[in-house]
A and B are shown apart, each in its own frame.
Chain A
């Protein structure tokens, strides 16, 4: 087991290098650099001052070769120094630290809601496989798979904020200020994310459960006269949830993409809206920092999922 974990951790090193290098280089290779942005090139109104640009470039070390800059950036990144915004002067690390809890709360609530929707739906569909109930669930998952997150978010706003007026459409209340208002503000965005996530989870669970329900030990449990619900929850669910766990990890990338969209629709000041704002404000260092954070989060969570998976199912360790 330790060997397995160590092998997985060693695998992380080249990926970390590649992910950071890629985030660094492709933003670096794109036309226009930080100095241009600071001097206002590309915003039509300003007169371009070559000397000023050169001065800023020297100040930021942009006159160094790209490899040198990558390693000095990586060294700084490792101790959490990702540079600072040249518009507000706020450091990238501070901006991220301020907004990360909001995104984390959104993702956790969304994931919980998705599991709450998906597990009963998956169990129901598997138990009634091929019957009307299954067809209804399958049709629903199909419909939700075809709806992009922003359309789901808009429909939710229309139903729950405009027509019913149950939840606010926008507006964020810090958790510390008013827990109830905070949860109310997070309900619709979390639900929008959960609704794009649950069909995938539900289908995976359904397919695995159908296979499990054909096993002999389920037949034995039935023969012993155990209740259907007891068999489904206590005997069948656990061995059928391996793929579900892996999918939750793989889907994280999707969920982060979804969070970017949902945060901007509901005006939640999380990492996603930080990214959108930074892109529109041409805050290159901020964009770089957020992308590295997102990519590393994805890689780390999937590593954790692999390790959990290896613990649950010794066969895949080999």
Chain B
């Protein structure tokens, strides 16, 4: 939900001594988790898992065990299968929304940082206005009235990552727009578009990409919250947030129904944050760019 990712200072970088390929265990563990999750989610249809919407009325609220690995929910549906299919939605939305947000943010930010003047004031003003609407509130209203489909969800959530992306892109464009090679290109008669595309974009796209994992984690959290509030993709399609909300009334007696999907959501967001943080430090992205 954080709009601007915040990270640790470089002071505390030389902590762990055991590394593989320059990265510590705190990098490889989350990578393993994400790769496993991605594979399971991608292959969900051919893997031998149960149907996520199929009820087994002889096993309502079953505990985790051999037959149902993570147990069943209140309608006797396999929690493991539902988590895999729910994570599929989270990851799809969590991938596309930040990518679109980044593209739009790059365009806005580069224009603001390159052309300056009135255009910059307008873009900064638009960003201020988007920020004035709390992101979950905005998403909730639009989804409820426009319909909670996957496409709408992606559009709404990409809007929430535009402000931070624009700020990052604007700050790095400001740095490069005054550099000698840009002036040289202009002296050779290159058009603004060519300068932006060939000179500035290649320099700022990598630092921008370094933040995308953080935005993915934020979008996945918002998607979970929306589904939890009942304004995400509607049932019977399983969503992690929806599963948590459905299990919540039974938290006294069957906490696993709530906590299994919650744990998966938590681990996924944590992994994305950890990987993103380490990559940023590996490639020493300057945090002052924000």
Contacts and interface: CB of A to CB of B under 8 A. Distances in A.
Contact of B9 (A15, A30, A207): A207
A148 B134 contact: no
B132 A298 contact: yes
A253 B132 CA distance: 7
B72 interface: no
Nearest to A261: B225
Main secondary structure of the interface of B (DSSP, over half): helix
B214 to A, nearest CB: 9
Interface of A: 14-15, 18-19, 22-23, 26-27, 30-32, 129-130, 134-135, 138, 142-143, 145-151, 154-155, 157-158, 162, 196, 200, 203-204, 206-207, 210, 250, 253-254, 256-258, 260-261, 264-265, 275-276, 279-280, 287, 291, 294-296, 298-299
Interface stretch (B74-82, B106-114, B135-143): B135-143
B228 interface: yes
B136 A158 contact: no
A28 to B, nearest CB: 10
B100 interface: no
In the A-B complex, the 5 residue pairs with the closest CB atoms: A146-B270, A257-B136, A30-B145, A148-B221, A257-B134
B251 A162 contact: yes
A158 B129 contact: no
A31 B147 CA distance: 9
Interface stretch (B184-192, B193-201, B258-266): B258-266
Nearest to B273: A146
B12 interface: yes
A279 B266 contact: no
Contacts of B125: 14-15, 18
A253 B266 contact: no
Contacts of B132: 15, 19, 253, 295-296, 298-299
B11 A27 contact: no
Contact of A129 (B11, B142, B224, B230): B11
Contacts of A253: 3, 131-135
Given A200-B2, A257-B135, 9 more contacts: A15-B128, A31-B145, A145-B2, A146-B217, A253-B133, A260-B136, A260-B137, A291-B137, A299-B132
